[in-house]
């Protein structure tokens, strides 16, 4: 998993509440177990018409937001079913951070396990960042995970809270497998001792 420490990038404004996981990645794309390739179908039903053509008014189809690495959204982001394909699609598109007033718990935790930083801020602060994001590609938002700050293109700084363990994992690029592999020496030692004491196993 990629490490996350600082990020300065384009923020795409999506001022919608209750963006659920089916909106993020519709159910017909859940057949794959690969984490790659889903970005093209992120927000599929909002990005494309029935013939597969891009809908020009959708934010991620606009020239200034095609390379967005930050998504600014409304309350209760990631609600609905617990599909892990949702953060997979977000990450595969290139978005590494989501800023919203609140999240569904399962989606929130899945983000950290997939290298995405979900930042929860009060609505009034999200509104300021949303307005900043609406300026387009010239307005770069900066995220500093170590300092736990979001800085707008105008230099306004907001602090956010994050669980210390989740922060450690994200800054060190540790998913569940990575956390296990940190204990590889202890695991090997245990297995060797077990093989000595119980050779019949």
DSSP 20-59: BHHHHS-GGGTT---SSS-GGGTTHHHHB-TTS-B-TTSG
Was domain 6-197 assigned CATH 3.40.50.720? no
Please tell me the predicted confidence (pLDDT) of residue 188. Answer: 67
**Rg for the chain (alpha carbons), in Å?**
19
Distance CA 15, CA 56 (A): 17
Q: Which residues pair with 139 in a beta bridge?
A: none
Q: CB burial class (10 A; 0-12, 13-18, 19+) of residue 97? A: buried
Please tell me the predicted confidence (pLDDT) of residue 152. Answer: 98
DSSP summary character for residue 139 = -
Please tell me the predicted confidence (pLDDT) of residue 181. Answer: 61
Give me the residue label for tokens 């970005």.
Answer: 39
Please tell me the predicted confidence (pLDDT) of residue 103. Answer: 98
Residue 64 CB neighbours (<10 A): 15
Average pLDDT of adjacent 10-residue blocks, the chain of 201 residues: 95 97 93 84 96 96 96 97 93 98 97 96 98 92 98 97 96 77 67 74 67
Please tell me the predicted confidence (pLDDT) of residue 183. Answer: 61
Instruction: Encode burial over 101-130: b for 16+ CB neighbours within 10 A, e otherwise.
Output: bbbbebbbbbbbbbbbbbbbbeeebbebbb
Q: What is the pTM of this model?
A: 0.88
The number of CA neighbours under 13 Å toward the Cβ of 69 is 14
The ranges assigned to domains in the chain are 6-197
96: left (phi over 0), alpha (psi -120 to 50) or beta: alpha
Please tell me the predicted confidence (pLDDT) of residue 180. Answer: 61
């Amino acid at each position: 998993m990629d490490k996350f420490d600082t990020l300065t990038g384009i923020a795409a404004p999506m001022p919608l509440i209750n963006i659920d996981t089916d909106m993020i990645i519709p159910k017909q794309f859940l057949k794959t177990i690969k984490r790659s390739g889903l970005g093209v179908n992120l927000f599929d039903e909002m990005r494309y018409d029935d013939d597969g053509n891009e809908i020009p008014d959708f934010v991620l189809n606009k020239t200034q937001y095609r390379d967005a690495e930050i998504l600014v959204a409304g309350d209760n982001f990631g609600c609905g079913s617990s599909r892990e394909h949702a953060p997979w699609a977000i990450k595969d598109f290139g978005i590494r951070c989501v800023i919203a007033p609140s999240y569904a718990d399962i989606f929130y935790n899945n983000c950290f396990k997939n290298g995405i930083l979900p930042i929860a801020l009060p609505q009034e602060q999200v509104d300021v960042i949303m307005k900043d994001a609406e300026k387009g590609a010239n307005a770069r938002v900066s995220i500093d995970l170590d300092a736990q700050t979001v800085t707008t293109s105008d230099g306004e700084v907001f602090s956010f809270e994050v669980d210390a363990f989740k922060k450690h994992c994200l800054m060190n690029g540790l998913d569940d497998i990575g956390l296990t592999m940190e204990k590889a020496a202890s695991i090997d030692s245990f297995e060797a001792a077990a093989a000595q004491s119980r050779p019949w196993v």
